[in-house]
Amino acid sequence: MKKRIGILLCAAAVVLCVSALACQPQPAKSLDGQNEVAAGKGQAKYVFLFIGDGMAMPQVSSAEVFSTARSSKDINITRLGFTKFPVTGLATTYDAGTFITDSASAGTAIATGNKTLSGVINMDAGKTQKFKPITEYIHEAGMKVGIVSTVTLNHATPASFYAKATSRSDYYDIAVQLAESDFDYYGGGSLLQQTGKNKDKQDALEIAKANGFTYVNTKDGFNALKPGGGKVIAISPRLQDDGAMQYEIDRKPDELSLADFTRKGIELLDNSKGFFMMIEGGKVDWACHANDAGAAIHDVLAMDAAIRVALDFAAKHPKNTLIVVTGDHETGGLTIGFAGTQYDTFFDKVALQKKSYVAFDDEVLKPYKAGISAANAKLADLLPSIKESFGIDFDSLSAFQKEQIEFAFQRSMGNEQIRSFAEDKYLLYGGYEPLTVKLTQMMNQTAGIGWTSYAHTGVPVPTFASGVHQEIFGGYYDNTDMFRKLASAMNLKVL
Ligand SMILES: [Zn+2]
């Protein structure tokens, strides 16, 4: 009985709270008030949120060093477009269960202002309560919403801006939520498990079309998209690993880039009430998981190129455009500096890389493995391709380095006799093709780049802001504050 009275009192309190809140919408603010915009300035009407997945300062700094200071002698660093932004901040990234977040809980934090467990999208740690992402508030305010990613559109980060799911792996369920959403523009990679895990469900793209979406996956179709044509799903004509867009390092000049998807988003979303576009450089993370600094750096630069497109738009709408660039976590434990090179760096070696680890696997290693038995395979057969792909001159390596590459080659060819303990295997290769990961790691090390992990790490991420209300993104805060800062800049009434 006591319990029942307690429940009734709680229920009454909730009703009172809800009705009070309904009458008086609460402005977005944190305890210290730092999320509130200054009075008198206009609303951020055109808002770009760029998220580099797996991008913390090491990824940003590596891209800057790569671009401008390729040897130890040349220490002039020219800033990227976004590192010249007037306001910088730092955000903690821990989630409800660990100091090292994943993209689902980090996406939930940024999109809804709530902590949750790794793997959960826009729901609480108990997996019962749903959180409303900022995009829903934006849509309700009459602004248009665009979501762009280089990885699959139902991957954790983009999903955090339109879906709610107990598990980020429920790809089909998330794809259906995208298909049934009323947001205006989805662009980039494809949909993972589009017809379900067992390929026995209704095609999510068919559901999307029935819900009014125009779908294109050709360059001509993409170019033909014009404003006023309704909701759009635009998928890159060329897909690479798991249906993601290709790595920037593997992109041919005439293929669509992240900048192209950003430019098209502006064209389609621009309207008098404003828009919000989330643009994710998702493969910075994937490259860093695989310890491929070259691929990661080129994808950071591709994001910078996309940000420059947003800056061009901002130049035309300086009073009400806001551009925010951040990361969701760091990946790989990347750093500038390696024990073997001490105080020196040789980023010119990274510039010799011509393929991502995925392209090397697909175009060199897999065909080679398919055409030869393990007994007949010789590392010498691949040395010309290795030099062409990664700039590694095998003859110039030390005996120790040669031995490591030969060992990894034997492992990639499935030579059982040299199989080591599972733990060693993971620490050595992280579940990737042994030869490929050893080649990128070794080339990175000779360039003075170190890695500590094949997973994420727990260091803070930087934020760069430019435009109206940029000042509230300065300082050191938590990733959940991003939601309140964006809401405040857009003058959204969020609970
Ligand atoms: Zn990751």
Alpha carbon distance 317, 45 (integer Å): 9
Kindly tell me if the per-residue pLDDT of 12 is higher than 60. no
Whether residue 148 has pLDDT greater than 70? yes
Query: Quick check: 3 pLDDT over 80?
Result: no
Distance of CA 228 from the midpoint of ligand 1 (Å): 36
- In the reported structure, the alpha carbon of residue 53 is separated from the centroid of ligand 1 by a whole-number distance in angstroms of 7
Residue 184 CA to ligand 1 centre (angstroms): 27
430 alpha carbon to ligand 1 midpoint, in Å?
13
Q: pLDDT at position 70, please?
A: 65
> What's the CA-to-centroid distance between 118 and ligand 1, angstroms?
11
> How close is the Cα of 306 to the center of ligand 1, in Å?
21
**Residue 125 C-alpha to ligand 1 middle, in angstroms?**
20
35 Cα to the center of ligand 1, angstroms? 28
285 Cα: distance to centroid of ligand 1 (angstroms): 5
The whole-number average pLDDT for the span 153-182 is: 98
Tokens of 170: 């429920």
Q: What is the pLDDT of residues 340-375, one digit of tens each?
A: 999 999 999 999 999 999 999 999 999 999 999 989
Q: What is the pLDDT of residues 368-395, one digit of tens each?
A: 999 999 899 999 999 999 999 999 999 9
Name the percent of the chain lying above pLDDT 90: 85
pLDDT in tens, 430-441: 889 999 999 999
- Using the mean position of ligand 1's atoms as its centre, give its distance from the Cα of residue 331 in Å: 6
pLDDT at 28 over 50: no
pLDDT at 40: 65
- CA 280 to ligand 1 centroid distance, Å: 13
CA of 156 to the centre of ligand 1 (A): 10
The full set of domains in the chain, from first to last, is 46-335+455-489 (3.40.720.10), 353-446 (no CATH)
Residue 30 has pLDDT above 60, yes or no: no
Calculate how far, in angstroms, residue 289's C-alpha sits from the geometric centre of ligand 1. Answer: 6
Q: How close is the Cα of 49 to the center of ligand 1, in Å?
A: 19
- What's the pLDDT tens digit per position in 218-270? 999 999 999 999 999 999 999 999 999 999 999 999 999 999 999 999 999 99
Is the pLDDT at 20 greater than 60, yes or no?
Answer: no
Q: How far is the CA of 195 from the centre of ligand 1 (A)?
A: 24
Distance 301 CA to ligand 1 centre (A): 19
Residue 29 has pLDDT above 50, yes or no: no
**Cα 99 to ligand 1 centroid, rounded to whole Å:** 14
Mean pLDDT of the chain: 91
Dist. CA 104 → ligand 1 center (Å)? 10
- Whether the per-residue pLDDT at 120 is higher than 80: the answer is yes
215 to each of 140, 143, 179, 281, how far by Cα in Å?
24, 21, 11, 22
Model confidence at 37, pLDDT cuts 50, 70, 90, reads confident
Q: What's the average model confidence in pLDDT over 157-169?
A: 98
- The whole-model pTM stands at 0.92
Q: What is the 102 CA–ligand 1 centroid distance (Å)?
A: 6
Spacing, Cα 54 to ligand 1 middle (Å): 6
Q: How far is the CA of 323 from the centre of ligand 1 (A)?
A: 24
Residue 59 CA to ligand 1 center (angstroms) comes to 14
On the question of pLDDT at 9 being above 90, the answer is no
Distance 56 CA to ligand 1 centre (A): 12
- CA 281–ligand 1 middle distance (angstroms): 12
Q: Indicate the pLDDT class of residue 412, thresholds 50, 70 and 90.
A: very high
Ligand 1 centroid, distance to 82 Cα (angstroms): 22
User: Mean pLDDT, to the nearest integer, of 178-189?
Assistant: 98
What's the confidence (pLDDT) of residue 35?
74
